[in-house]
Amino acid sequence: MRHLPVEPPPFFHRGPSPLTRLAVFALLSLALLFTDTRYRYLENIRRVAAIVLYPMQRIVQMPGGALAYVGTYFSSQRTLADDNAALQAQLLSQAPLVQGYPAVEKENARLRGLMKLETRIPVDATAAEVLYSSRDPFTQKIFVDKGEAAGVQAGRAVIDSVGVVGQVTRVYPYMSEVTLVTDKDHAVPVKVERSGVRTVMYGAGAARPPELRYLSPSVEIEPGDLLVTSGIDGTYPAGLAVAQVVSVERETGLSFAHVTCKALAGIDNSAQVLILGSTASVPPRPDEPSDPAAPRKGRGRRKG
Amino acid sequence: MPPFVAARPEEILLPVRPWFIVLTLLVGLVANTLPMSGMALTLKPDFLALVLLYWCIQEPRLIGVGVAWCLGLMMDVVDATVFGQHALAYAVLAYGAGYFRRRVLRFPLWQQAAQVAVLLLLSSGLVLVVRIAGGAPPPRWTYAVGSLTGALLWPLVTVLLQWPQRPQRSPSER
């Protein structure tokens, strides 16, 4: 027969009261929250912990993967045939574009050469699978299964078959974190495909649609317009589809139009994504202006 | 004795083995990292918080605010959230559990679940306040759903975790 413990274990015998303990740990958490949001000092700790936890996460994901594999094995011939037909039709419909592309590419290169414009760098890409989406309801992030080992770097653009998904923000050895275009204050430089108006699309979190800020009410933009990347930031290559304009409100009382959009890519449900290689050829930053008076004056004032 | 019924308050349980606590907490952590998206992600409760809450109520001498805080830090890493978010939530949860434990145990399981729901909602509400004060955008309205499904799972968690501690009755007693 077991004996009931007669005295409490010495560990918690004379500790501080629960309320004191809670206060200490709550303050510690608040300090951590503050440091992490403001200074991002803790990236290294996060890296080490992520490496330790990685094998565990992969083991957890194994049963799901195996189940999905077995599921595809039993998918009916009917579905496969339908899929096949749909893909054939898609291929055929894109054939004229694809066949014409090399000729256009060559012509474009020649014209650019004539005009002494920078040639467009062909972009290499890495296919990656989406592992899971972040459980943090305040941010919009997904995790993909390619990391440092596959040559992924932070800042790479990520797309799926429809449009831009987001941007790689953290790279671990075997996976990386992608911040979606709908994340709050994630900015994508875009232009309206129809009219060529350049602007920046800002994400607004999960609950609200992305928006275009600081557009004058007279700007040429309509609901249904396609927004494509303008390529001027050096992160996203030019010409990738990003979003579609949903609503344009032009109120005479306001100095800016209120434009909301809808991201095109299957933000919440795409299973495969493409991590684009570096777009390279970003021109070096311009030299500091030779006249030191003008810019420094402004900076000094802000500091003081 | 029907197998899937929780112990009555007057029933004396066998002493818990520490490795079992560690194992269940680990299982909770791993369950939280299950890859999910869409509807499942909305409904998914915080498994680790549930297991933690159970041990805070049952074994307050072994599992308290400190352990909860450390587990919260681990969860922050796994979720790539801001450092301290889960730590704060779990520390508050552990304190709440310690405060209410004597009362909670007196109730039948489904009434316990209601109190657990309040605790879970409180801790997630605190996180909401802190994060929004830190400049995060408001989440979807489904933010609270996870806490409620967690509370619904409470009876199941209790029965499962109590299972190894139920004394084996001799056949004559049945």
User: What pLDDT is attached to residue A245?
Assistant: 93
Q: Which has the higher per-residue pLDDT, A128 or A301?
A: A128
**Residue A135's CB: how many other CB atoms inside 10 A?**
22
User: What pLDDT is attached to residue A137?
Assistant: 81
State the pLDDT confidence band at A10, using cuts at 50, 70 and 90.
low
Give me the percent of chain A exceeding a pLDDT of 90.
15
User: pLDDT (tens digit, 9 = 90+) per residue, A228-262?
Assistant: 998 887 788 888 889 999 999 888 788 888 899 99
Q: Is A61 on the interface with B (CB under 8 A)?
A: yes
Closest partner residue to A9 (CB to CB) among B35, B61, B66 is B61
Alpha-carbon gap, residue A131 to A177, rounded angstroms: 10
Is pLDDT of A113 > 70?
yes
User: pLDDT (tens digit, 9 = 90+) per residue, B125-153?
Assistant: 988 998 888 788 888 888 889 899 999 99
CA distances B29 to A55, A64, B122, Å, are 14, 17, 21
Is pLDDT of B51 > 90?
yes
The model carries a pTM of 0.72
Q: Is A170 on the interface with B (CB under 8 A)?
A: yes
Find which of A85-89, A270-274, B37-41 is predicted with most confidence, using mean pLDDT. A85-89
Chain B partners of A45 at a C-beta cutoff of 8 Å? Answer: 77, 83
User: pLDDT (tens digit, 9 = 90+) per residue, B110-125?
Assistant: 888 999 999 999 999 9
Q: Which has the higher per-residue pLDDT, A193 or A271?
A: A193
Helix (H, G, I), strand (E, B) or coil at A6: coil
Determine the residue among B11, B81, B140 to mutate to test chain A binding: the one whose Cβ has the most chain A Cβ atoms within 10 Å.
B81
Q: For residue A91, give both structure tokens.
A: 């291929």
Closest partner residue to A37 (CB to CB) among B35, B65, B134 is B134
Q: Is A145 on the interface with B (CB under 8 A)?
A: no
Cβ distance A135 to B41 less than 8 Å, yes or no, reads yes
Is pLDDT of A300 > 60?
no
Is pLDDT of B171 > 90?
no
Report ipTM (2 d.p.). Answer: 0.79
User: What pLDDT is attached to residue A9?
Assistant: 60
Alpha-carbon gap, residue A237 to A280, rounded angstroms: 10
In chain B, positions 140-159, which contact chain A (CB-CB < 8 Å)?
140-141, 143
The answer to whether A127 touches A274, Cβ cutoff 8 Å, is: yes
User: What pLDDT is attached to residue A122?
Assistant: 58
Chain B partners of A11 at a C-beta cutoff of 8 Å? Answer: 61
Q: Is A60 on the interface with B (CB under 8 A)?
A: yes
Q: Which of A86-90, A208-212, B41-45 has the lowest mean pLDDT?
A: B41-45
Alpha-carbon gap, residue A203 to A11, rounded angstroms: 49
User: What pLDDT is attached to residue B49?
Assistant: 93
- Taking Cα atoms as reference points, which of B169, B162, B153, B146 lies closest to residue B36? B146
The minimum CA-CA distance between A240 and chain B, rounded to whole Å, is 25
DSSP output for A162-173: SSEEEEEEEE-S
Average pLDDT score over residue span B5-31: 82
Tell me the average pLDDT of chain A: 80
Give residue A266's region: left, alpha or beta (phi > 0; psi -120 to 50).
Answer: beta
Chain B partners of A32 at a C-beta cutoff of 8 Å? Answer: 83-84, 87
Closest partner residue to A206 (CB to CB) among B61, B82, B140 is B140
Q: Which has the higher per-residue pLDDT, A187 or A119?
A: A187
Q: For residue A25, give both structure tokens.
A: 């740990």
In this structure, what DSSP letter does residue A202 have?
E
**Residue pairs spanning A and B at CB distance below 8 A:** 150
Closest partner residue to A137 (CB to CB) among B35, B72, B139 is B139
Residues with Cβ within 8 Å of residue A214, at least 6 apart in sequence = A199, A256
Cβ distance B99 to A37 less than 8 Å, yes or no, reads no
Q: Is B37 on the interface with A (CB under 8 A)?
A: yes
State the pLDDT confidence band at A119, using cuts at 50, 70 and 90.
low
Chain B partners of A142 at a C-beta cutoff of 8 Å? Answer: 37
User: pLDDT (tens digit, 9 = 90+) per residue, A91-111?
Assistant: 888 888 888 888 888 888 888
CA distances A16 to A241, B67, B85, B98, Å, are 58, 15, 23, 14
